[in-house]
Structure formats: C-alpha cells, structure tokens
Amino acid sequence: MISLSNAEDKELILFYKMSKQHHIGTALNEKSFKQFQDEFDDEALVYMCVKQDEQLAGYLLLSLEKEGKLHLKRIVIDQEHLGIRLSVLQKVEAYAKKLNKNYMWLDVYTDNKRAIKLYEKAEYRYYDRGIENGREVCFFEKDI
C-alpha cells in the first residue's frame, strides 16, 4: 500500500541521502543539506514522505499555489521502490483534490527520459520548454 504523509524535520537527512542515490544521476540539481532545511522551513513548500507498506520509499516536494494549482517540484523514489512511481503520482493527485487543487504542473530536464515517459503515461500534457540552471526543461500539466 502506498501512502503520503507530511514530513518531519528529522526525515530531511533521509531525503538528502536518498537524493544522492546512483539511480538519480543528473535528474536533480544537487542541493546541500542546508538547502533542504531552508525548503522545509519555507511555508510555501511542503515535504511529504512516500511510504510503501509503512517503509519509507521516497519523498515529494510540493508548492501549494493559488488559484487551485499545485506544483510538483520534486519526486524522488528510492532505488528499491521504483515500480511505485505511477501510483505515487495518483496519490499526489488525490491529495491535491483534497486541498481543492484542480491543476498540477511540473518541470523535468529533457534528458530525464524515464521521468518524461512516466508523466506521459500518467496523462500529463507537455506545454512548454525552458531553461533552468543552464539546462533545458520540459513543462507538463494536468487538470485533476
């Protein structure tokens, strides 16, 4: 069973370590632990634990925006749990609905083909390209 819950600050070190796993590669920009702490303290952002059968399987970073929007800023799934990624997206969408959010968007580096395939499978629509941190990104959206 997949579940989401609000993260506690003591879990940040686990998220930090998870972000450095080999399978992540260049999918994420490297962040210092201090940056994780700063994001955790930012009231506009929400860190969430992803659990499979009560075991930590990953984490999310969400931005709860105005006008019914939710920005999926980061999704990291542990190497041992990669098969749950689609289920996690579905859980995030259900969570967004509970918060009266009806639109989700995200960006992904264009070289992250595995993630792009996942978002397309989950029926996210490509809507734009841009540059972030000197790298090309694709923007995806979904009405939920």
* Domain spans in the chain, listed from the N-terminal domain onward: 2-143
Fold of 2-143: Aminopeptidase (3.40.630)
pLDDT tens-digit readout, 44-97: 999 999 999 999 999 999 999 999 999 999 999 999 998 999 999 999 999 999
Nearest to 90 by CA among 127, 124, 61: 124
What whole-number distance in Å separates Cα of residue 112 and Cα of residue 4? 24
Record the pTM.
Answer: 0.93
What whole-number distance in Å separates Cα of residue 51 and Cα of residue 84? 10
**Helix, strand, or coil here: 136?**
strand
Furthest CA-CA distance within the chain: 38
Residue 25's pLDDT is what?
85
What's the first-to-final CA gap in the chain, in angstroms?
22
Find the mean pLDDT for residues 15-38. 92
What whole-number distance in Å separates Cα of residue 114 and Cα of residue 17? 21
Percent residues over pLDDT 90 in the chain: 91
